[in-house]
């Protein structure tokens, strides 16, 4: 049983730990700031365009608007430092660096944002014209979200979720650790799509008129839909190699079915999570 003195010491240590954590969080919040970076005009403003962002750390948010340029803002978190006392060294005060390393290139309506902020978490906020295709990826410390865009979307994340809200067109999305949630207002006819996560739910809403051949698998979760899906029987797959004399047969765990008579392939996959295929 703990002595009263030992209990007080432990309680004091815990209190100091909480204070230290609060100091770190408040210090990070205080250092965050949003900057209007620049606007990028398009070569042919009357035509659709494409946005390309591939970064290491931070979130990406893209939203459609009525303008004809690509408008970029950024908010920066604290630098990736490990010690509370790095603001001082040998009696000297640390000077906060204000240097930026973000640029954009435009050619034939393709806008590429190049983020070289390796030591800072950079959250990008981008406005694009409504008819725009997207190729977005991030790795750590961020989510990817898109709102109101109409186009072909290729979205990839590693440690974060993907959210597409009120979008149109087609999408291919994948993440390792995070949920995927997509709500389509309309979809491109005959476009194949794929939605894949390792650890997370895959929640996709389509127009009720969707025609699709569905291929879905969840190793550790369940599959749900409110579409009237015609499920195909799971038949063994035979692979015979005459040269080696081997005969291999297997049954996969994929659920296959047709919605409204079938159409382009829609792939849904997660290892640890549920799959929800919804009709709006």
Pair 143, 161: CB distance under 8 Å: yes
Structural contact between residues 196 and 270, judged by C-beta atoms closer than 8 angstroms: yes
- Give pTM, 2 decimals: 0.79
Band of residue 77 on the pLDDT scale cut at 50, 70, 90: low
Question: How many Å separate Cα 197 from the centre of its chain?
Answer: 10
Distance CA 117, CA 94 (A): 19
Query: DSSP per residue over 197-239, as a string?
Result: EEES-EEEEE-TT--EEEEEEESSS-EEESS-EEEPP-PPEEE
Query: What's the pLDDT score for residue 21?
Result: 35
CB contact at 8 A, 58 and 138: yes
Average pLDDT over residues 200-221: 97
**DSSP string over 237-270:** EEEEETTTTEEEEE----EEEEETT--SEEEEEE
Q: Which residues pair with 67 in a beta bridge?
A: none
The rounded percent of the chain whose pLDDT value lies above 70 is 81
Q: What pLDDT shows up at residue 143?
A: 98
Q: How far is CA 127 from CA 64, 76, 148, in A?
A: 6, 18, 10
Mean pLDDT of 159-175: 98
How far CA 111 is from CA of 103, 134, 218, in Å, comes to: 10, 10, 36
Which pLDDT value is given to residue 79? 53
For the record, the structure tokens of 181 come out as: 């949630």
For residue 118, give the nearest of 131, 142, 102, 94 by alpha carbon: 102
- Is there a contact between 224 and 214 (Cβ–Cβ < 8 Å)? no
- The rounded distance, in Å, linking the Cα atoms of 205 and 249 is 35
The residue-averaged pLDDT of 215-238 equals: 90
pLDDT, mean of residues 191-203: 98
CA dist 153 and 132 (Å) reads 9
107-129 tens-digit pLDDT? 999 999 998 877 678 899 999 99
Residue 242's pLDDT is: 78
The full DSSP string for 46-101 is: TS-EEEEEE-SBS-EEEEEES-SEEEEEEEEEEE----TTTTEETTEEPPPP----
Range in 67-81, 135-149, 225-239 with the lowest mean pLDDT:
67-81
pLDDT at 159: 96
Q: What is the pLDDT of residue 260?
A: 97
Helix or strand run (H / E) with residue 29 = helix 4-31
Return the pLDDT at 237. Answer: 73
**pLDDT number for residue 54:** 95
């Amino acid at each position: 049983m703990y002595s009263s003195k030992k209990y007080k010491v432990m309680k004091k240590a815990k209190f100091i730990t909480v204070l230290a954590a609060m100091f770190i969080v408040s210090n990070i919040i205080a250092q965050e700031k949003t900057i209007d970076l620049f606007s990028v005009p398009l070569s042919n403003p009357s035509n659709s365009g494409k946005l390309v962002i591939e970064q290491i750390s931070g979130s990406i948010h893209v939203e459609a608007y009525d303008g004809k340029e690509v408008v970029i803002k950024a908010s920066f978190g604290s630098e990736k430092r490990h010690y509370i006392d790095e603001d001082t060294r040998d009696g000297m005060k640390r000077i906060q660096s204000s240097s930026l390393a973000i640029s954009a290139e435009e050619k034939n309506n393709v806008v590429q944002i190049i983020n070289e902020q390796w030591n800072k978490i950079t959250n990008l906020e981008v406005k694009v014209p409504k008819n725009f295709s997207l190729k977005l990826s991030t790795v750590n410390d961020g989510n990817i979200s898109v709102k109101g865009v109409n186009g072909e979307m290729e979205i990839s994340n590693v440690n974060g979720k993907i959210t597409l809200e009120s979008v149109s067109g087609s999408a291919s999305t994948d993440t390792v650790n995070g949920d995927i949630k997509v709500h389509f207002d309309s979809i491109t006819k005959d476009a194949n799509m794929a939605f894949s996560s390792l650890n997370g739910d895959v929640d996709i809403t389509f127009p009720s008129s969707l025609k699709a051949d569905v291929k879905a698998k969840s190793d550790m979760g369940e599959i749900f839909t409110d579409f009237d899906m015609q499920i195909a029987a799971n038949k063994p797959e035979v692979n015979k190699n005459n040269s080696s004399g081997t005969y291999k047969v297997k049954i996969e765990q994929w659920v296959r079915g047709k919605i409204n008579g079938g159409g382009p392939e829609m792939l849904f996959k997660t290892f640890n999570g549920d799959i929800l295929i919804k009709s709006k």
